[in-house]
Amino acid sequence: MNILNNYTTVFIDRDGTIGGNGHYQSLNDFELFPYALSSIARLKAHGMSVFALSNQTHIEKGDMNYYDFFNSLIRMGFDDAFICPHSEQTNCNCRKPKKGLIEQAHRKYNFQNKQSIIIGDRFSSDIQLAQNCQMLGIHVATGKFEPQYFIDNQNHQKKNIITVQNLENAVNYVLSN
């Protein structure tokens, strides 16, 4: 393993983080940001495990097939994907910001939360999950606009939260720290 820093595991959200605009888009309509695949590859080249992490209500609604969605993420270079297929009304334990997807990952892989990162575009789900699991949360400004009412902006560093412009900047941060 060729890890340059203390981080071993990175979870990355799909919608608004690796592409799209933060809202649901079908597999055919979803467009990756130009730097998304190379960003995933750079993390893996440094010995990190890189997992997709996504809430996909449209699977439960029948608008998307779970396995087609999962396989699309694997084709992008992710080592594995942890997907909540439920709507908020289902009240499952896997919908971000609940810890269920991270618990699923722990059942399959050996990693420490304190050496893990969640990169995403939403404070209310991605960054809140990072907080709930005591992981570094890296917020990217490329997805759905969301007020920062969950996080006190002046205490980002103290609360283990970083805000960057996009996934490429997030990966640069990870690889330099």
Instruction: Identify the CATH number of the domain in which residue 71 sits.
Output: 3.40.50.1000
What three-state secondary structure class fits 9? strand
**Does the global pTM surpass 0.75?**
yes
Q: For residues 39 and 107, what is the distance between their CA atoms, to the nearest angstrom?
A: 26
**Number of domains forming the structure of the chain:** 1
173 pLDDT higher than 50:
yes
**Is position 155 within any domain?**
yes
Binding positions for Mg(2+) are: 13, 15, 121
Structural domain that includes position 42: 9-176
Q: Is 152 a catalytic residue?
A: no
**Is position 90 within any domain?**
yes
Catalytic member of 13, 79, 80, 152? 13
How sure is the predictor about 6, in pLDDT bands with cuts at 50, 70 and 90?
confident
Binding positions for Zn(2+) are: 84, 86, 92, 94
Output DSSP code: residue 121. S
CA geometry: angle at 166 spanning 71 and 130, to 5°? 70
CA geometry: angle at 28 spanning 108 and 118, to 5°? 35
Q: DSSP string spanning 15-75?
A: BTTTBS-SS---TTT--B-TTHHHHHHHHHHTT-EEEEEEE-HHHHTTSS-HHHHHHHHHH
Q: Is 15 a catalytic residue?
A: yes
**Is position 4 within any domain?**
no
Q: For residues 128 and 133, what is the distance between their CA atoms, to the nearest angstrom?
A: 9
Sheet holding 136-140, edge to edge: 80-84, 49-55, 9-12, 116-120, 136-140, 161-164
**Is position 60 within any domain?**
yes
Binding positions are: 13, 15, 84, 86, 92, 94, 121
What three-state secondary structure class fits 148? coil
How sure is the predictor about 154, in pLDDT bands with cuts at 50, 70 and 90?
very low
**55 token code pair:** 């809430």
Residues 71-102: tens digit of each pLDDT: 999 999 999 999 999 998 999 999 999 999 99
Catalytic member of 15, 29, 80, 126? 15
Contact by Cβ (8 Å): 170, 146: no
35 pLDDT higher than 60:
yes
**Is position 102 within any domain?**
yes
